Amino acid sequence: MQLPPEIWLDILDLTADSELFKVESVNRIFYGCALDRRYRHIQLHDKFILSGIIDKLDSDYFVLHKRVKSLEIYPHLMLSAMWKGIPDFLGVTVSKAWVFPVHIFSKSGLTLPSMPPLSSISGAMEGHFMTTMAKFTALKEIKVTWTQNPNEDGACFSVLNILWPVLFRNLVTLNLRTMPIEIVDCLSESISTLTHVKYLTLSFEYNFATSTLEVAEALVRIAKSVNCLAGSLRSLSISGFGNFDFSPFYDVLEEFPHLSKFVHIGTFGPEYMNDPAGFKRFLMSHSSIRHLILPAPGNSAFTSVDSWLQTCFEGIRLPNLRTLELSLSYISSSGNSLPLLLAHITETVDTIESFSITGCRIPQTDLELVLQLLTGLSLKSVKLEVLVLDPALMDLFAKYLPDLETLDLTYRWVCSTPGNMNTSFVEEMERRFYPKWKLYEAHLESSDYCANANENLAYQKAISRCAPRMV
């Protein structure tokens, strides 16, 4: 039976990838979409995947070469795959497996034979592998993820240096995750040549064997490379986990005229940014930022968090800011830094429409303090994680955020009202109605994987009956 293309496309939207591949022969649209989904994102970490992609592109070049949009590389695994794959690419049959004598075992584990030089690997694979990489003409995104094996970092960058010349042409998104700080030099020059990159993510891993001076010098060099992307960069994400001082990085970072999203996660606060002047200058020079993500600063024994935040945000104007996300791993019930951070931001910014806190479950006492700070904003959307879903919680939202339109809550437990432990959440919400609350959409999710989905739906319906626009 012939169906209009619009109906086939509607069917595609409701079909999972696994099922789509089973019925790809039903219709030409199905076949093309199945190929798009199968090859749009490729992970290079195994010799069999590597050889399979090469063979497939060689046989169906005109069908596949424009379908690969995203490439994910694991340098250590990639290096191992290339090393193991040399005999295959050279046409050599390996019939004898590795045999490890007892004497090569040490207290730290198995000691493997050393790898051959990268020059021999690149030379052996140049005919197939490099030619295949050059065929990814539609590639827009590259993700590189390092594993925790510092002994191989140098070799891994050698692999990447082989790939950069043939992959960077039309690159729009570059994501470098868990990058060892001590080997930033190997990438600095390469990043500066990616003149079309709009979305850049840099995640640094700290090595305690690296001195503070070496870390500072590495951050300065990577910042200078990022400055070369000023003409195209729209989104910049910086994260570091360990004893980082990001002051040198922000001191060197220049202006990006088109920047609309800025993310700094991980280490943040007086102990991790001794001099926040560069960070403040960076924010002040980017009034175009619409989306800001920051972590709550950690406490310091030597510097007041409040005074440090005042230095960071005093006088800052972000007239275009619409989305604010704050993150942390834990929030206590008293004296924490999240309300301080929020207070300093909301003192100077009143244009926020969407607000969220991720990475923590907020007690009700802290939530009321947070909502009080948000009262002066015209918030349309809020996303939070709370400890207990309680009717009193809804009272707070209706009281402090009457103009709220979308509420997204993740909860851990459901509690009845104080003094009446036999009253369920649903029954208690049936007695409530907020005539001035403009809530239009509510989404609830339990963080307990054993939670009952029907009960969660009942809680959601109970909330919907309390707001005029949802009835």
pLDDT tens figures, 48-66: 666 666 676 666 666 677 8
Same domain, 317 and 177: yes
From the list 328, 324, 277, the residue with the least C-alpha distance to 298 is: 328
Q: Please give the backbone phi and psi of residue 105, each rounded to the nearest 5 degrees, phi first.
A: -85, 130
Same domain, 19 and 150: no
Dig out the tokens for 148 from the structure. Answer: 């925790």
Residue 372 lies in a domain: yes
More confidently predicted of 155 and 410: 410
Secondary structure of residue 364 in the 3-state scheme: helix
Highest mean pLDDT among 35-44, 83-92, 333-342: 35-44
Q: Decide: 431 and 398 in contact? Cβ < 8 Å.
A: no
Highest mean pLDDT among 29-43, 136-150, 239-253: 239-253
Q: Decide: 249 and 238 in contact? Cβ < 8 Å.
A: yes
From the list 45, 192, 71, the residue with the least C-alpha distance to 135 is: 71
Among 58-72, 174-188, 408-422, the least confident range: 408-422
> Among residues 403, 435, 454, which one ends one of the domains?
403
Residue 292 lies in a domain: yes
Structurally, how many domains does the chain consist of?
2
pLDDT band of residue 367 (cuts 50, 70, 90) is confident
Same domain, 219 and 262: yes
Dig out the tokens for 404 from the structure. Answer: 């709220």
pLDDT band of residue 245 (cuts 50, 70, 90) is confident
Same domain, 12 and 126: no
Give the separation between CA 463 and CA 471, rounded to whole angstroms: 10
Has residue 118 got a pLDDT over 50? no
Q: What pLDDT, on a 0 to 100 scale, did the predictor assign at position 437?
A: 94
Q: What percent helix, strand, coil does the chain show, rounded to 5?
A: 40, 20, 40
Q: What pLDDT, on a 0 to 100 scale, did the predictor assign at position 83?
A: 53
Same domain, 59 and 155: yes
More confidently predicted of 95 and 179: 179
Mention every residue, 6+ apart, whose C-beta is less than 8 A from residue 275.
Answer: 247, 251
Dig out the tokens for 381 from the structure. Answer: 């959307």
Give the separation between CA 60 and CA 419, rounded to whole angstroms: 70
CATH assignment at residue 341:
3.80.10.10
Give the separation between CA 10 and CA 2, rounded to whole angstroms: 15
Same domain, 130 and 260: yes
Section 387-394 average pLDDT: 90
More confidently predicted of 103 and 255: 255
Section 21-38 average pLDDT: 68
Q: Where are the beta strands (DSSP E) in 287-353?
A: 291-295, 323-327
Residue 459 lies in a domain: no
Secondary structure of residue 238 in the 3-state scheme: strand
Same domain, 10 and 129: no
Mention every residue, 6+ apart, whose C-beta is less than 8 A from residue 62.
Answer: none
Same domain, 137 and 48: yes
- Annotate 73-104 with b (16+ C-beta within 10 A) or e (fewer): bbbbbbbbbbbebbebbeeeeeeeeeeeeeee
Place of tokens 């009034």: 287
Q: Which amino acid is at 379?
A: L
Has residue 77 got a pLDDT over 60? yes
Residue 153 lies in a domain: yes
Upper half-sphere CA count for residue 347 (Cβ side, 13 Å): 13
Same domain, 69 and 152: yes
- In terms of phi and psi (left: phi > 0; alpha: psi -120 to 50; beta: otherwise), the region of 335 is left
Dig out the tokens for 303 from the structure. Answer: 């510097």
Residue 46 lies in a domain: yes
Give the separation between CA 204 and CA 261, rounded to whole angstroms: 19
Q: Decide: 382 and 355 in contact? Cβ < 8 Å.
A: yes
Residue 426 lies in a domain: no
> Among residues 403, 433, 450, which one ends one of the domains?
403
Dig out the tokens for 209 from the structure. Answer: 């064997």
Same domain, 136 and 3: no
Among 52-61, 400-409, 420-429, the least confident range: 52-61
Dihedral of the alpha carbons of 372, 375, 380, 381, in degrees to the nearest 10:
-10
More confidently predicted of 4 and 264: 264
Residue 74 lies in a domain: yes
* CA distances in angstroms from 348 to 73, 295, 316, 376, listed in the order given: 42, 18, 6, 11
Same domain, 269 and 331: yes
Section 279-288 average pLDDT: 94
From the list 389, 387, 401, the residue with the least C-alpha distance to 354 is: 401
Residue 309 lies in a domain: yes
Same domain, 158 and 207: yes
Section 234-244 average pLDDT: 87
Give the separation between CA 464 and CA 471, rounded to whole angstroms: 6
> Among residues 360, 384, 403, which one ends one of the domains?
403
- In terms of phi and psi (left: phi > 0; alpha: psi -120 to 50; beta: otherwise), the region of 13 is alpha
Q: Decide: 337 and 305 in contact? Cβ < 8 Å.
A: yes
Range of the domain at 245: 41-89+118-403
Q: 390-394, long-range: CB within 8 Å, 24+ apart, which pairs?
A: 390/364, 390/414, 390/415, 390/417, 390/425, 391/417, 391/425, 391/428, 391/429, 391/432, 392/364, 392/417, 392/418, 393/364, 393/367, 394/429, 394/432, 394/434, 394/463, 394/466
Give the separation between CA 272 and CA 267, rounded to whole angstroms: 6
Has residue 94 got a pLDDT over 80? no
Q: What pLDDT, on a 0 to 100 scale, did the predictor assign at position 99?
A: 37
Q: Which helix H or strand E contains 9, and what residues bound it?
A: helix 5-13
Q: What is the DSSP letter of 308?
A: H
